[in-house]
Chain A
Amino acid sequence: MSQRIGLSWLQLRHEKMKLFAAVSGVMVSVVLMWMQLGLMKALFASAVVLHGSLAGEVVVIHSQYEHLLHSKVFSSRLLYRLKGSPDVVSVSGIYLAPIEWKNPWNGEMRSMQCYGIETESPGLSIPGLADQLASLRQRDVFLYDRLARPRFGNVVGELERGADIKPELNRRRMKLAGLVDLGASFGIDGNLLVSHANFLRLFSERDPGHIDLGVVRLKPGVSVEAAQRQFQQQLGEQVLVLTRDQFADIELKYWKSATPIGVIFSAGTFVGFFIGFIVVYQILYTDVTNHLPQYATMKAMGFSNAYLRGLILAQSLQLGLLGFVPGTLIAAMLYAALRNVTQLPLTLDPARGIFLAAVTVVMCALSGLFAIRRLSSADPAEVF
């Protein structure tokens, strides 16, 4: 039955402290859920930043490739065969390997991820990279990841002060030639970019004819799926030809199964849900209990159980709405603060917003439904 005079809201707002407590409970729950889901998403997103930066629609890897830290090389001749295809604009081979970074200030050894790219056709589209390709061609220089973890030393700060930074990489003295934004991720605390030639100087044992990633840029209008199928056929089973998304999926799948991150943050999200549920339930339950005589009176006057249930359910949903909006605003502020500190790609995703709004509604409705059971104690025979 409809509530034409907004009974539920009039009753809710009558006791301001209780309203405030209930809304705060929902708010805390909403903030927690945003944080948990956001961090999980950001952590996984950080694992595929490189994948998103590949300057091509199709990626070629060895068929036994596992993930960025466990790659397997294949012959670059296979990749360069694709150059002949009328669908292809360019192909680029990328070397990758972990490298020893010796902190130039305290001598500590740390591992970084090193990418060797072709300076003519880098296969990566990272903001600011194009302008630095010329300097990357010099002998024994590298580009440093601005978003690397601070454990490598205050590289960015020192550079901005105008210092010459020349750390030892794999025991070879190299010069920092500039900065790019890539970011840390699972098992990778920071990245370096070097030219093919410098990569081979750093890793003298590597066979120049074998690469880790092949990036293929297609002509505009060419069907990615069709090209992928055709290239796979052309290159045989030794390599995998993937779309960029499929390539990123391999990485995500690996980290989802290899780390408990999914479980931890899902559990965290559930805790948020549970807190909201308990708070709203507690408040509605005590509210119904305190107002049993009122509900009994209404029952006596002919209000149906359905009407009274609707009243409580409406209150639970109003609490949900009132908590969701400020909770989301607080989450947005926390996201901004955390983005600055952790460099994680935290964003208020609208789709997740809709999802969380739905979760909040379900959470409040459940609380309401549990609290409604208390109504049966309102005995209209006791009102006289």
Chain B
Amino acid sequence: MNTTNGARGTAGDSRAESAGSSMPAVSSVIQCSGVNFFFGQGELRKQILFEVEFAIEPGEIVLLTGPSGSGKTTLLTLIAGLRSMQEGQMHVLGYRLHNPGPRDLLEVRRRIGFIFQAHNLLPYLTALQNVQVMFELQPNVSAEEGRQRAARMLEQVGLGDRLHYQVARLSGGQRQRVAIARALVGGPQLVLADEPTAALDGASGREVVNLLQALAREQGRPILMVTHDTRVLDIADRILELQDGRLASHSTGALSKPAAV
């Protein structure tokens, strides 16, 4: 059911699920339709997202672009379960994020690897500890195994010789690579990144994006990345473009691409 038809079918699915679990029979990684979002109250209430509808399929690398203020970050926070949905349907990794169950948002977040514009590493930890910290969320992984997997992950992002460096002693590009290692080490089912190259110069930005793409491809992880950086558009399977809170028509057209592939 990797088609847009599947996405339309979710309205019926949600109602059926609402009695029990919020796990729908949807195989798309992200599937949303009719998403409207507003900031503010009363007079100041302002619509930011209008009838947003798209799906992302397993293994896809999708870029989200658009002018500043068009609602990209807002959409990302909705997908990540960081903001409550207001109108429309949203399924992420099989969880229903409109009317979610009590732990659904937390469970979704745990299955997502986040890469932020600023690295958002914990400054009191070393590179290794920053990656290891993700295994605090996976009690079944022993401390030793967590350490080893974190170290391997850092080697993969080229920081095998910087394991015990404090964050403050790493360069911007190195920090962002630690952030990538942290995002990927727990085996996320989806990677969300918001302008991960914005704080980096061109060369290290490219390097970071290449790394992210390579690792995601290798592990078959889907990526949704917000970026302004036109130099990295080539890594995408698909590009979605937001304009004033609406998905531009050509990106909506691209929705059928994976089904055609």
B120 touches A303 (CB 8 A): no
B136 touches A384 (CB 8 A): no
A384 touches B116 (CB 8 A): yes
A303 touches B77 (CB 8 A): no
Residue in B82, B106, B125 whose beta carbon sits within 8 Å of that of A304 in the complex: B106
Indicate whether A1 reaches chain B with its CB closer than 8 angstroms.
Answer: yes
- Give Cα A208–Cα B114 distance, bound, in whole angstroms: 95
What bracket does the count of chain A residues touching chain B fall in?
20 to 34
- Give Cα A303–Cα B135 distance, bound, in whole angstroms: 11
- Give Cα A138–Cα B122 distance, bound, in whole angstroms: 83
* Distance between A14 CB and nearest chain B CB, rounded to angstroms: 3
Enumerate B170-203 residues with CB–CB distance to A below 8 Å.
194
- Give Cα A297–Cα B125 distance, bound, in whole angstroms: 14
Taking CB atoms, residues of chain B closer than 8 Å to A383 are 82, 114, 116, 120
Taking CB atoms, residues of chain B closer than 8 Å to A167 are none
Indicate whether A80 reaches chain B with its CB closer than 8 angstroms.
Answer: no
A1 touches B136 (CB 8 A): yes
B82 touches A10 (CB 8 A): no
- Give Cα A2–Cα B136 distance, bound, in whole angstroms: 7
Taking CB atoms, residues of chain B closer than 8 Å to A153 are none
B109 touches A384 (CB 8 A): no
Taking CB atoms, residues of chain A closer than 8 Å to B77 are 381, 384
- A5-B133 CB under 8 A given contacts A11-B124, A294-B122: yes
A384 touches B137 (CB 8 A): no
Taking CB atoms, residues of chain B closer than 8 Å to A4 are 135-136, 143, 146
A285-311: CB near B (< 8 Å → 1, else 0) gives 000000001100101111110010000
Indicate whether A104 reaches chain B with its CB closer than 8 angstroms.
Answer: no
Residue in B76, B112, B122 whose beta carbon sits within 8 Å of that of A384 in the complex: B76
In this complex, which of B110, B133, B136, B137 has the most chain A Cβ atoms within 10 angstroms of its Cβ? B136
Enumerate B131-149 residues with CB–CB distance to A below 8 Å.
132-137, 139, 143, 146
Taking CB atoms, residues of chain A closer than 8 Å to B76 are 384
B136 touches A3 (CB 8 A): yes
Indicate whether A380 reaches chain B with its CB closer than 8 angstroms.
Answer: yes
What bracket does the count of chain B residues touching chain A fall in?
20 to 34
B124 touches A384 (CB 8 A): no
- Give Cα A380–Cα B116 distance, bound, in whole angstroms: 12
- Give Cα A380–Cα B83 distance, bound, in whole angstroms: 8
- Give Cα A2–Cα B77 distance, bound, in whole angstroms: 28
A297 touches B116 (CB 8 A): yes
Chain A interface (Cβ < 8 Å from any Cβ of B) = 1-5, 7, 10-11, 13-14, 293-294, 297, 299-304, 307, 380-381, 383-384
* Other A-B pairs beyond A7-B125, A7-B136, A11-B124, 16, CB < 8 Å: A1-B136, A2-B136, A3-B136, A4-B143, A4-B146, A14-B123, A294-B120, A300-B114, A301-B110, A301-B114, A301-B137, A302-B106, A302-B109, A303-B137, A383-B120, A384-B117
29 example contacts (A-B, Cβ-Cβ < 8 A) are as follows A4-B135, A4-B136, A4-B146, A5-B129, A5-B133, A5-B143, A10-B124, A10-B129, A11-B122, A14-B123, A294-B122, A297-B116, A300-B82, A301-B109, A302-B107, A302-B109, A302-B110, A302-B111, A302-B137, A303-B137, A381-B77, A381-B82, A383-B82, A383-B116, A383-B120, A384-B77, A384-B82, A384-B117, A384-B194
